[in-house]
Amino acid sequence: AKTARIIWAMLVKGETYRDRASAPAAA
């Protein structure tokens, strides 16, 4: 699960935190 969190963090960083609210939901 930790690995997924790191990957998602990278995606969010590249997405300009646009879907930051969806981050926890997707995780």
Give pTM, 2 decimals.
0.38
Task: Report the percentage of the chain scoring pLDDT > 90.
Answer: 0
How deeply is 7 buried, as exposed, middle or buried, from its count of CB atoms within 10 A (0-12, 13-18, 19+)?
exposed
Q: What share of residues in the chain are helix, strand, coil (percent, to 5)?
A: 65, 0, 35
**Domains in the chain, number:** 1
20, pLDDT greater than 70: no
Q: How far apart are the first and last CA of the chain?
A: 8
6, pLDDT greater than 70: yes
pLDDT at 13: 75
Q: How many helices (H) and strands (E) does the chain have?
A: 2, 0
Spatial neighbors of 8 by CB under 8 A, at least 6 apart, are: 23, 26, 27
pLDDT at 21: 56
pLDDT at 4: 86
Domain span at residue 9 reads 1-27
15, pLDDT greater than 70: no
pLDDT at 25: 56
